[in-house]
């Protein structure tokens, strides 16, 4: 095990940003501003505790400077215990400095438990760790770490780079960076950014890919990964950017007016909800001799995704559609890609949900064919689908309102739209199949849209049922009906 060299670094403490104090019935509480529901009590309020918190809220100070509070307010043991409680609760930021220069900062994300620090050899950077730029400094963080690291010195970066391989059993004491290396490895191990080689092996850990665990952690509350940022529907961009209008700018292509079904008549003629739910299947076999019609496509789009009404409140535009959507933003757009539909030319269209009409986006060509081929491959279909409904998101409609979780919301919205289209297609006796993946770059090429402004996030195959695809019986011609 590596022994600690003589210290040449200085450790400074400060209160984490966004913390405020409250006293209720003589009990001291600390709250996090970004998560008002998160608080911790620290027992009876006292002059000593107030004095320590006042020092921590100012410029970073050393532990010795904080212990000096004992001269005015009593036993040093009380100060040490209070600092220990603040540290374990995740309320203290630690800055490591040498020769007047900040080397790195350890910023807690949540409460930390007093777990033994792994031995100094055989440690390696966690495979979930991410190194990125934030402002004018680098950040090292992980979805399973209790603390993130802000790096402000190139020497520390060099040491972190060496942690892609397990640390050696011994560190030469004469190395000019021995003490710094020891401290960096120790602090990162305490944070969970550096782990033993065997710590991330096993079924429960191996099944996670880094981006998936990151996505899970950042879109859920309680893990502190947002580190001072807001979380949820904060309307953070309201004063910075104009919200995207509810209706996207129309494409310039030819217009196709769509059939509008009689909803009152459908209330009486549609099969019962329970029957539709029980009969729903993913059906991949289409009958090209009698393809889906433009009228059927129009009915499905009207029943699933039309804009029923819009409203404006406090300068923001809200929408109502048949499926639910967070914040009533309705960022999803539908692009039917038609190979074979009676009464409708082949090509890629955009569905104008406000006017219930289609506009041609791209005539048949390479990107349109790629979308259909990818759909057929994803659904394991022997022929290209009659119609592929590409679901795209205008990200700014949602991302200007929510922090940290807008993309997770978008995928939830895709899911509820899928279910709505499944049930309506089943009630209409059409073949429907939701897909798990699609060609986003082919969509971008076909539409000419900016990938980060509007991009595909889902795909749904639609067609006429083959005769051997019967309600309640699945699809005899597909690999799997689910």
- State how far the Cα of 434 lies from the Cα of 279, in Å rounded to an integer: 15
Q: What phi and psi, each to the nearest 5 degrees, are found at residue 397?
A: -60, -30
Q: 102 and 19: one domain?
A: yes
Check residue 242 and report its DSSP letter: P
* Domain closes at, from 226, 246, 278: 226
Q: 426 and 391: one domain?
A: yes
Q: Considering the domain boundaries, does residue 32 fall inside one?
A: yes
For residue 243, the model assigns a pLDDT of 83
Q: 431 and 295: one domain?
A: yes
Task: Give the number of domains in the chain.
Answer: 2
Q: Considering the domain boundaries, does residue 94 fall inside one?
A: yes
Answer for the pair 95, 14: CB distance below 8 angstroms, yes or no. yes
How distant is the alpha carbon of residue 330 from its chain centre?
18
Q: Considering the domain boundaries, does residue 46 fall inside one?
A: yes
Q: Considering the domain boundaries, does residue 128 fall inside one?
A: yes
Q: 261 and 217: one domain?
A: no
Bridge partner list, 34: none
Q: 305 and 221: one domain?
A: no
Q: 371 and 345: one domain?
A: yes
Q: 218 and 237: one domain?
A: no
Q: 347 and 276: one domain?
A: yes
How many residues does this entry show for the chain? 482
Q: 79 and 192: one domain?
A: yes
- State how far the Cα of 456 lies from the Cα of 286, in Å rounded to an integer: 24
Q: Considering the domain boundaries, does residue 478 fall inside one?
A: no
Q: 422 and 287: one domain?
A: yes
pTM value is 0.85
Q: Considering the domain boundaries, does residue 471 fall inside one?
A: no
Spell out where 395-429 has E strands.
Answer: 402-403
pLDDT by 10s per residue, the chain, length 482: 455 555 578 999 999 887 888 888 888 888 876 655 667 888 888 888 888 898 898 889 988 888 887 777 766 568 888 888 999 888 999 999 988 899 999 999 888 766 566 665 689 999 999 999 988 889 999 998 889 999 999 899 999 999 988 877 555 555 557 888 889 999 999 999 999 888 877 777 888 999 999 888 888 876 655 555 677 888 888 888 888 899 999 999 999 999 999 999 999 999 999 999 999 999 999 999 999 999 999 999 999 999 999 999 888 899 999 999 999 999 999 999 999 999 999 999 999 999 999 999 999 999 999 999 999 999 999 899 999 999 999 999 999 888 888 999 999 999 999 999 999 999 999 999 999 999 999 999 999 999 999 999 999 999 999 877 654 444 433 333 44
Q: 241 and 192: one domain?
A: no
- State how far the Cα of 179 lies from the Cα of 43, in Å rounded to an integer: 37
Q: 418 and 316: one domain?
A: yes
Q: What separation, in Å, do the N-terminal and C-terminal C-alpha atoms of the chain show?
A: 55
Answer for the pair 392, 457: CB distance below 8 angstroms, yes or no. yes
Domain that holds residue 114: 10-226
* Domain closes at, from 226, 260, 291: 226
* Domain closes at, from 185, 202, 226: 226
């Amino acid at each position: 095990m590596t022994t600690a060299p003589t210290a040449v670094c200085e450790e400074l403490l400060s209160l984490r940003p966004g913390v405020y104090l409250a006293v209720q019935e003589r009990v001291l509480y600390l709250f996090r501003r970004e998560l008002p529901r998160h608080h911790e009590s620290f027992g009876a309020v006292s002059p000593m505790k107030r004095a320590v918190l006042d020092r921590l809220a100012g410029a970073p100070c050393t532990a010795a400077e904080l212990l000096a509070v004992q001269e005015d307010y009593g036993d040093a043991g009380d100060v040490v215990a209070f600092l220990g409680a603040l540290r374990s609760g995740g309320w203290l930021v630690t800055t490591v400095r040498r020769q007047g220069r900040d080397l790195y900062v350890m910023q807690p994300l949540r409460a930390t438990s007093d777990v033994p620090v792994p031995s100094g050899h055989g440690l390696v950077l966690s495979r979930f760790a991410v190194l990125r730029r934030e402002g004018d400094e680098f950040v090292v963080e992980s979805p399973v770490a209790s603390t993130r690291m802000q790096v402000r010195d190139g020497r520390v970066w060099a040491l972190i780079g060496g942690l892609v391989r397990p640390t050696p059993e011994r560190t030469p004491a004469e190395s000019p960076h021995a003490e710094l290396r020891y401290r960096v490895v120790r602090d990162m191990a305490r944070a969970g950014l550096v782990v033993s080689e065997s710590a991330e092996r096993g079924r429960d850990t191996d099944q996670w890919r880094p981006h998936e665990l990151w996505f899970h952690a950042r879109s859920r509350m309680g893990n502190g990964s947002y580190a001072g940022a807001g979380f949820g529907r904060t309307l953070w961009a309201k004063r910075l950017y104009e919200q995207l209008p509810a209706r996207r700018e129309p494409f310039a292509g030819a217009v196709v007016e769509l059939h509008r079904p009689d909803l009152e008549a459908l209330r009486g003629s549609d099969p019962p909800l329970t029957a539709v739910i029980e009969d729903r299947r993913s059906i991949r076999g289409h009958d090209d001799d009698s393809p889906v019609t433009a009228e059927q496509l129009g009915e499905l789009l009207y029943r699933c995704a039309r804009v029923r009404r819009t409203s404006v409140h406090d300068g923001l535009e809200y929408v109502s559609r048949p499926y639910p959507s967070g914040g009533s933003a309705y960022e999803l757009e539908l692009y039917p890609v038609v190979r074979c539909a009676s009464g409708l030319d082949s090509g890629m269209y955009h569905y104008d949900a406000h006017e219930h009409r289609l506009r041609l986006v791209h005539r048949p060509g390479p990107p349109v064919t790629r979308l259909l081929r990818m759909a057929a491959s994803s659904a394991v279909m022997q022929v290209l689908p009659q119609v592929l409904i590409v679901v795209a998101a205008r990200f700014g409609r949602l991302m200007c309102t929510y922090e940290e979780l807008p993309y997770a919301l978008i995928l939830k919205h895709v899911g509820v739209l899928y279910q709505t289209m499944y049930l309506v297609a089943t009630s209409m006796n059409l073949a429907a199949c939701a897909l798990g993946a699609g060609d986003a770059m082919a969509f971008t090429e076909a539409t000419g849209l900016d990938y980060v402004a509007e991009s595909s996030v889902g795909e749904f195959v639609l067609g006429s049922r083959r005769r051997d695809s019967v309600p309640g019986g699945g699809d005899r011609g597909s690999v799997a009906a689910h």
